[in-house]
Amino acid sequence: GRVTGPDGFVLLPGYFDRAAQESLLAGVLGGIGAAPLYRPSMPRNGQPLSVQMSNFGPLGWVADQAGYRYEPEHPVTGAPWPSMPPALLELWAAVSGWHQPPQACLITVYGPDSRLGLHVDADEDARDAPVVSVSLGDRARFRLGGPLRNSPSRSLVLSSGDVVVLGGASRRFFHGVDRIYPGTSTLLPAPFHPGRINLTLRRVR
Ligand code: MD3
Ligand code: FE
């Protein structure tokens, strides 16, 4: 199936079957063994986010008191981010429509009570390249707004194995995660269950 929303938003429900999700998960768990999850904090007030993060690829998104930016190294270990799992490069080639490979894969780990407030992804210089997202684990209520913070929004449920492609104007739309539905997937092992892992693939420059 394929759900095409407004302005370049595409949802591919169940893109990855259970076996493919398990293999992606193995790559993610291996990656966060080498590049441990850390809890970013917001530049303005230093408040910690309710999610934990890490990255794959030549560049990774980081947040701390100094601001939001892309860096080639892990903020805690100082080591380069692990390379991108081949399955994610293949996904990007298959669905992004972009001829260059992704430069960053942000790994976001949600606990049962984590949320992600309404925001715009604006730290990439490559504003025209799409973002490709993969959901693993418990379902989430995702909110997609429009170009303005007060644009009308709609919510949709993202399930394990779903892929979202944000192309065109939707790339610059406000969006967030309202809530996790704990215990709606059996994919993730402890300590990630109940919870959710989201992967976002991006061009940065
Ligand atoms: C719509 N992640 O990593 S994924 C993010 O579920 C982020 O973890 C959410 O927002 C999550 O920045 C949503 C789908 C997604 C990703 C990027 C977008 C939707 C988007 C960029 C623009 C508009
Ligand atoms: Fe985002």
- Give residue-wise pLDDT tens across range 52-99: 999 999 999 999 888 999 999 999 999 999 999 999 999 999 999 999
Ligand 1 nearest atom to the CA of residue 110, by list position = 8
**175 annotated ligand-binding residue:** yes
Distance 196 CA to ligand 2 centre (A): 15
d(CA 72, CA 55): 10
pLDDT at 29: 98
Mutate-to-test residue for ligand 1 from 121, 134, 179, highest number of ligand atoms within 8 A of CB: 121
Question: What CATH number corresponds to the domain at position 160?
Answer: 2.60.120.590
Q: Is 149 exposed, middle or buried (0-12, 13-18, 19+ CB in 10 A)?
A: exposed
Question: Mean pLDDT over all residues of the chain?
Answer: 97
Which residue, among 200, 178, 196, 177, has the nearest Cα to 187 in the 3D structure? Answer: 196
Tens digit of each residue's pLDDT (9 = 90 or more) over 119-155:
999 999 998 999 999 999 999 999 999 999 999 999 9
Task: Answer yes or no: are the C-beta atoms of 49 and 42 closer than 8 Å.
Answer: yes
pLDDT at 5: 79
Q: Which residues form ligand 1's pocket by a CB distance below 6 Å?
A: 106, 108, 116, 121, 131, 133, 140, 142, 164, 166, 170-171, 173, 175, 177, 198, 200
How many structural domains does the chain have?
1
pLDDT at 143: 98
| Average pLDDT score over residue span 13-35 | 98
Q: What is the pLDDT confidence band of residue 44, given thresholds at 50, 70 and 90?
A: confident
Cβ contacts of 86 within 8 Å, gap of 6 or more: none
**121 annotated ligand-binding residue:** yes
- Domain of residue 196 covers 3-40+47-202
Task: Answer yes or no: are the C-beta atoms of 130 and 165 closer than 8 Å.
Answer: yes
| Average pLDDT score over residue span 10-35 | 98
